Chains A and B, each alone.
Chain A
Amino acid sequence: MLLEVDRVSKSFGGVAANVDISFDVQQGEILGLIGPNGAGKTSLFNSIAGQVTPDRGEIRLDGARISGLGPVACVEAGIARTFQVVRSFDSMTVLENVIVGAFARARGARAATETALEVLDFTGLAARADAPAIGLTPSEKRRLEIARALATKPHLLLLDEMLTGLTPTEAQAGMQLVRDVRTRGVAIIMVEHVMEVLLPLIDRAVVLDLGRVLTQGHPADVVRDPAVIRAYLGDRYAPAA
């Protein structure tokens, strides 16, 4: 078991974003975190990646607690994340952006550059290495986010709506990249809205609704669960229970 989320709860100013969330992620697994808007997915990501400390509960990586230690400690433990709204370093080139991530593990500038070049190659951005980060297309920017996160040599990668807003071709390429990342031995948690893209990709799904875990299991089963359908589409579309 790589990651354990153990009864995590978090409120912001009286609004309960996450309530009593528990699930695990196994080594090399691709887990989908799904749920309607406002279900608490991003806030859960923020807890796992250390940006936010849960009010209750604990998050453990390889048995050691990582909740409440901050984003830098999480990166050092082996968790990396991307952001929904791409946060590239605009004053730098693509290569320089990735080098920042590479320094999380690399000893010196040479090693960091080597790692960065390798990751750029892997994510298909090698040709754009010297391009300024602001000049990238949206799908290239998503790749850059992944590349930067991969440069930190994580065991677990959190992808926040990586595939949203891409053309079908770009989305297919993105899915392939996610599969390639898994072959490197990195486990992945994905938050996605686009079901057709997500369901074929993931091994398991955890469904959140109104801050709680609604259900978890095989994507095919989860998608047929009447409770899930009701959460997404409302009572009108739920099959007779």
Chain B
Amino acid sequence: MTAASHTTIARRRRRELIAGAIVLAVLALLPLAVHDTYSRNLIIITLLFAGFAQAWNVLGGYCGQISLGHALYVGVGAYVSTMLLVRGGVPPTLGMFAGGAVAGLLALLVGWPCFRLSGHYYAIATVVVGEIGYQLFLNWDWISAAEGINIPYVRAIGDSWLWLQFRIDKLPFHILALTFLTATFLTAWWVEGSRWGFSWRAVKDDPIAARSLGVRVFRSKMAAAAISGGLTGIGGAIYAQYVGYIDPESVMNGQLSILIALPAVLGGVGTLWGPLVGAAVLIPLSELSRSYLGGSGRGTDLMIYGALIVGVALLRPQGLASLLGIRVRAPRDVAGDVAESPRAA
């Protein structure tokens, strides 16, 4: 073992992996304790969104570029995978990676003009771009526009891992969602200790000093976009297979963007556990308020999110994860210094 593996940093990172493995094991065994369909469904959705939140966090938290239009990548992943299945006969197990690749490329395309914008300007741009995507898809007949697509069962009978079709027992989706979450968690963990992770933190602290040490700011942001967009796209494909039906309203609209961005902010932006904690709180809350408050409760889920976000932002900007004693570095300004002009440093 070299000197590098004995550092405090290295030891902390090993502890994080071990903690992650424990949490993963618990989550994997959860279906043994929970049997009713509703709860199992809730868990699957929560796991998926925790994965989305982790992916978002790579760009929004670690890299500091707050994206409020991230549902675009969910939608692109979902549609690419579904169209490949429906028109090309490609199994979703492959299609999801195509979806991820296209989403990642799109994220690069979006990032290219937008990354020179700082803070709020970038956030606004993501909202606009998200809306552009939404409206284009809503009017695009080749992909069935607003009607949406019903995802068919390819195999006439029975289940299939290749085609990700499971008729009765939804447990495989639990495994799939958990795998997705694990992949995003590991990616976040890896990225934290990588060149990019260090670059992003340096740029957030002092962009001029960072450049003077050779940090390639733009390139590092593009890396964040590709990773974040790509992972989100893969998750989008999984989501599509799980729900069985996609349309722009359900996989690409502004509401979904909010649901993806909020968990990380709630739990602790730019931290490893923040998105998990945030999703664990937010997603059940959202599902439950929708189910129990039903028709007359319309809007209550929004009120809850809104209040939570304002509350956390003002009272505990480092996120709820810090309340659980999870060590949180005082993060430097995530969205960058409030700039006079649209141009970043």
B9, CB-defined interface residue at 8 Å:
yes
Which chain B residues lie closer than 8 Å to A93 at the CB level? Answer: 8-9
Interface-located stretch among A32-40, A69-77, A198-206: A69-77
Question: Which of A51, A70, A80, A100 is within 8 Å of B202, CB to CB?
Answer: A100
The interface-forming segment of B42-50, B149-157, B243-251, B327-335 is B327-335
- Decide: B213 and A152 in contact? CB cutoff 8 A: yes
From A90, A104, A109, A129, B213 is in contact (CB under 8 Å) with A104
Given contacts A89-B202, A100-B198, A110 and B213 within 8 Å (CB-CB): no
Which of A5-13, A111-119, A223-231 sits within the interface?
A111-119
Complex interface: chain B residues within 8 A of A148 (CB): 213
Q: Find out whether the CB atom of A109 lies under 8 angstroms from the CB atom of B7.
A: no
Residues of chain A lying within 8 A (CB to CB) of residue B198: 96, 99-100, 103, 112
In the complex, B211 has a CB within 8 A of chain A: yes
| B341 in contact (CB, < 8 A) | no
State whether B329 touches A103 (Cβ < 8 A).
no
Let me know if A66 is at the binding interface, CB within 8 A.
no
Q: How many residues does chain A have at the interface if contact means C-beta atoms less than 8 Å apart? A: 37
B141 close to A (CB within 8 Å): no
Asked if residues B201 and A89 are in contact (CB atoms below 8 Å), the reply is: yes
Selected from B2, B204, B214, the residue in CB contact (under 8 A) with A91 is B204
Interface size on B, residues (CB 8 A): 31
Q: In the complex, what distance in Å separates the CA atom of A31 from the CA atom of B46? A: 62
Q: Per-residue CB proximity of B60-78 to A under 8 Å, as 1/0?
A: 0000000000000000000
Residue-by-residue, is A84-106 near B (CB-CB < 8 Å gives 1, otherwise 0)?
00011111110110011101100
Give the residue name and chain of the B residue nearest to A158 (CB). Answer: B212
Contact A87 B208, CB 8 Å, known A101-B213, A130-B8: yes
Complex Cα gap A133–B327 (Å):
17
Q: Are B3 and A117 in contact, CB atoms less than 8 angstroms apart?
A: yes
Known contacts A91-B330, A109-B195, A114-B3; A101/B214 CB under 8 A: yes
Decide if A103 touches B199 in the complex (CB within 8 Å).
yes
A197 → B minimal CB distance (Å): 24
Near A by CB (< 8 A), chain B positions 177-209 give 193-195, 198-199, 201-202, 204-206, 208-209
Contact of B215 among A72, A129, A151 (CB under 8 A): A72
Q: Could you say which residues of chain A place their CB within 8 Å of the CB of B329?
A: 91
Assess whether B90 is interfacial by the CB under 8 Å rule.
Answer: no
- In the assembled complex, the Cα of A108 lies from the Cα of B8 at a distance in Å of 18
* Contact between chains at B194 and A109 (CB < 8 Å): yes
A22 to B213, CA, bound (A): 26
> Residue of A at shortest CB range from B332?
A91
Kindly list chain A residues whose C-beta atoms are within 8 Å of the C-beta of B7.
Answer: 95, 113, 117, 129-130
Give chain A nearest CB distance to B146 CB in angstroms. 46
State whether B195 touches A71 (Cβ < 8 A): no
- Residue from B3, B9, B201, B214 having most chain A Cβ neighbours under 10 A: B214
Flag whether A49 is at the interface (Cβ < 8 A): yes
Most interface-central of B9, B10, B199, B212 (chain A CB within 10 A): B212
User: Which A residues lie within 8 Å of B212 (CB)?
Assistant: 49, 51, 71, 75, 80-81, 83, 87
Tell me whether A83 and B209 are in contact in the complex, defined as CB-CB below 8 angstroms, given that A91-B330, A100-B198, A103-B199 are known contacts. Answer: yes
Q: Residue of B at shortest CB range from A154?
A: B214
Q: Of B2, B208, B332, which is within 8 A of A90 by CB?
A: B332
Q: Are B214 and A90 in contact (CB under 8 A)?
A: no
Please give the residue numbers on chain A whose beta carbons come within 8 Å of chain B beta carbons, in ascending order. Answer: 49, 51, 70-72, 75-76, 80-81, 83, 87-93, 95-96, 99-101, 103-104, 108-110, 112-114, 117, 129-130, 148-149, 151-152
Query: Could you give 20 example pairs across A and B, Cβ below 8 Å?
Result: A51-B208, A51-B211, A70-B211, A72-B214, A72-B216, A76-B214, A87-B212, A91-B329, A91-B330, A95-B7, A100-B199, A100-B210, A100-B215, A101-B214, A110-B2, A113-B9, A114-B4, A117-B7, A130-B8, A149-B213
Beyond the given pairs A51-B208, A96-B9, A110-B2, 18 more chain A to chain B contacts, judged by CB atoms under 8 angstroms and listed by A's residue number, are A51-B212, A70-B211, A87-B206, A89-B201, A89-B205, A89-B209, A90-B332, A91-B204, A91-B329, A100-B210, A103-B198, A103-B199, A103-B214, A112-B195, A113-B3, A113-B7, A114-B2, A152-B213
